A and B are shown apart, each in its own frame.
Chain A
Amino acid sequence: MSRHLTLGALAVLFLFPLVWSGYASLEDPSNYLEMASYGEGVGTYAANSVLVSALTVGGTLVVSALGGYAFARFDFPGKNLLFLATLAILMVPYATILIPLYVLLGYLGLQNSLVGLSLVFVMFQLPFALFMMRNAFEGIPRELEEAALVDGCGTFRAFSRILLHAVRPALVTVGLFAFLASWNDFFAPLILLNDGSSFTLPVAVVSMTQGTFGAIDYGMLQAGVMVMAIPCLILFIVLQRHYVRGFMSGALRG
């Protein structure tokens, strides 16, 4: 009984802030309307966020699926070195290479670019994604692929027609992690984007607290929080199993 009381009280404690934020944002529904005309308009920021997330998820899936296949099924010179270099991304603190990345993207003409930002997100996702995909491909019986190969399929057709279907659960996990990271990240867009019209939602909504475009409107701020949080909450609840698989895989261990 006391265990249930503890659990119940804790659940209230953890859920209360989310419920309050939703309530505070809706108390005056015009909060959402005001946001539409905040800065460049919340539509612009949301569209930027959607684009960055889509590019990050797509890019991470393509790169890690191809790479995972290479690491699971092929031998090539430099294989171990490349794998170690990719995992080393986990060892190097995220925040410390953003300053050189800012300069480097400038050289590549990708400063203040949503594409540049997405590429950086793909890089940060790669150790986890590649590890997940390599394990997923290794889990597929070789016979499945060999049969297709001797049937005249090239490795790419075997890969795209047969193997990709077999690793679908891992692709969902990788995509979910990539979405949550790119949709929510604040530091990378803060550094890499410097023009208001290219801001993603987190940077734009944080700017509401700095009075950049007038006094702080707390109701609108919570509406901004909800716009950022709701897609993540829904995706997490629907795809929870796939999220937990990411933890179980040991990929976090690097």
Chain B
Amino acid sequence: MTLTITKSGRQAARGAPPARWRGRKAQGWLYAAPTAVIVGVLFLAPLVLVGWMSLNRWPLLGPAAFNAPDNYTKIASNPLFVDAVLFTLKYTAITTVLLSAVALGLALLVQERRPGVGFFRTAFFLPGAVGFAAAALLFYGMLNPDFGPVDPMLQALGITSEPVKWIGTPNMALFSTIMLVLWRFAGFNMLILLTGLQAIPVEVYEAARSDGANRWQIFTRITLPLLRPTLALMLILSVTGSLLAFDQFFIFTNGGPDNSTVSMVMVVYRDAFFRFDLGGAAALSVVLLVGLVGLNTLMMRRLR
């Protein structure tokens, strides 16, 4: 089969200018057309629409009316949003530090190709294959004092004497959510770091070792600097993901107790679907969008 193709191919090549180059541009567009339609209709159009919506009083039902810049000026007097910004920033800072530390620790533990290491890599990543919503519901049941195993285990070990209020106080709710996020995302970030670690040539380590460097020196002088681009990527993904947190607070803590765990995206959702104010939600979206794109650009410049 392959042989015949090659043979007749040579024959044709000697003849007229190859028909294959005719209409090449039009054909290229034809193959790219589905991409262009999807990107145009479902990405660029909503991007324009969100800007337009933010300039209008836009109820969930009923006609829209231009009211710029009301949707923006009222953001500052939206106490729920102001609190949500502070809370989300705090959550992002803690989560990013812990997640990076745990992921780096895991990656270093399983970076060498030894027998059995594959099992541990899979074990650490497996929670990442489970959906975040499912993971949040899993923790919701696991930490329930009557149904879950955690409180009975802690009590049997004598660590606690009564059920822990896992999501009953603001600080505990934040703590429990971060445990959930670490469980779900540590393996994912470990995998990102592993790709970076494996790109470091073995010879570099060998040279350092023969120069008498100890393990700590190798880690701080070689591994960390060479891992910098990968660490930066992980940091950017973690910061962006945390600033957009929704599932964990909507499902697991439901914003409580007393609205202490309401994230920024939750306010957008509440404005849109509980207060039926799509214009206000669009203005918040634009603020988040501009803020995050700016932050991402800044981080990429600084960290890479």
Task: Tell which of B77-85, B139-147, B201-209, B220-228 binds the partner.
Answer: B139-147
Highest count of chain B CB atoms <10 Å: which of A18, A130, A248: A18
Task: Tell which of B119-127, B170-178, B211-219 binds the partner.
Answer: B119-127
Q: Which residue of B lies closest to A226 (CB)?
A: B134
Highest count of chain B CB atoms <10 Å: which of A103, A130, A155: A103
Of the candidates B28, B122, B131, B244, which one forms a contact with A229 in the assembled complex, judged by CB atoms under 8 Å apart?
B131
Task: Count CB-based A-B contacts (< 8 Å).
Answer: 271
Of the candidates A96, A180, A187, A205, which one forms a contact with B247 in the assembled complex, judged by CB atoms under 8 Å apart?
A187
Q: Would A247 and B134 count as touching, CB distance under 8 A?
A: no
Given A14-B183, A17-B139, A99-B268: A104 touches B133 (CB 8 Å cut-off): no
- The proximity string for B residues 137-170 relative to A, scoring 1 for CB distances below 8 Å and 0 otherwise, is 1111110101101000000000000000000000
| Residues of chain B lying within 8 A (CB to CB) of residue A248 | 195
Task: Report Cα–Cα, A10/B187, bound state, in Å.
Answer: 11
Q: Would A126 and B191 count as touching, CB distance under 8 A?
A: no
Of the candidates B141, B243, B272, which one forms a contact with A218 in the assembled complex, judged by CB atoms under 8 Å apart?
B141
Interface residues of A in 32-78 (CB under 8 A from B): 62-64, 66-67, 69-71, 73-77
Highest count of chain A CB atoms <10 Å: which of B50, B144, B233: B50
Given A10-B106, A24-B141, A74-B28: A180 touches B34 (CB 8 Å cut-off): no
- Return 27 A-B CB contacts under 8 Å, by A number: A10-B109, A11-B119, A24-B149, A73-B28, A76-B25, A77-B25, A92-B289, A95-B268, A95-B288, A96-B289, A97-B285, A99-B282, A101-B46, A104-B49, A149-B18, A150-B9, A150-B18, A151-B5, A184-B130, A185-B133, A186-B133, A202-B131, A205-B134, A222-B141, A233-B126, A236-B129, A248-B195
Q: Spell out B's residues near A (CB within 8 Å).
A: 2, 4-6, 8-9, 12-13, 18, 20, 24-36, 38-39, 41-47, 49-50, 53, 58, 106, 109-110, 119-120, 122-127, 129-134, 137-142, 144, 146-147, 149, 183, 186-187, 191-192, 195, 233, 237, 240, 243-244, 246-247, 251, 265, 268-269, 272-273, 278, 281-282, 285-286, 288-289, 292-293, 296
